[in-house]
Amino acid sequence: MTEDPYAFADSVWIDATPHHVYDVVSDITRHGEWSEFTRSCEWEDATSAVVGAHFTGHNSRPGRDWSTRSEVVAATPGQEFAWEVRDGFVRWGYTMAPDGGGTRLTQSWEFRRVGREYIRETFGEDGVTLRVNDARTSIPATLERIKKVIEG
């Protein structure tokens, strides 16, 4: 089986219940606390995570600031929270599973073809490579920051 170069996932164990972990990661207004690139998010048409709700994320990296509109595509308390950016360009998600008195939190990322094509047309192949590398390095760091936020 070949690894998909446009998808990545990593996990961390957290000393908290799956429901508590879900409550934290599904609160998009807190994503700026642990994300390397997201500075803030706000709900557009909801006040909490429900499938179909939209939010805007404000992001920053050296030399570039941008905002994206996302739609919640999975919201099952204690199990999964996921969203798609810009009509399916990218899918980000968290899954929670009970594990030894705590929770195994997995963050996943899928850079879909429509998103890759847009980035390639706008920023060139280097833009695609940058996003792949960003996900592979930022997801483990993000998970460690979430763990620290939850465990104190």
Tracing tokens 């070949």 back to the chain, one arrives at: 2
Query: 69 in a domain, yes or no?
Result: yes
Question: Which is nearest to 119 in space by CA: 135, 99, 138?
Answer: 135
**Structural domain tally of the chain?**
1
Query: 1 in a domain, yes or no?
Result: no
Query: 49 in a domain, yes or no?
Result: yes
Per the structure, the complete domain to which residue 111 belongs is given by: 7-151
The pLDDT assigned to 2 comes to 54
Calpha distance 21→23 (Å, rounded): 5
The pLDDT assigned to 3 comes to 73
Query: 125 in a domain, yes or no?
Result: yes
Q: List the CATH number of the domain containing 64.
A: 3.30.530.20
Predicted model pTM: 0.94
Joined tokens for residue 115:
């998103």
In the chain, which stretches have pLDDT less than 50?
none
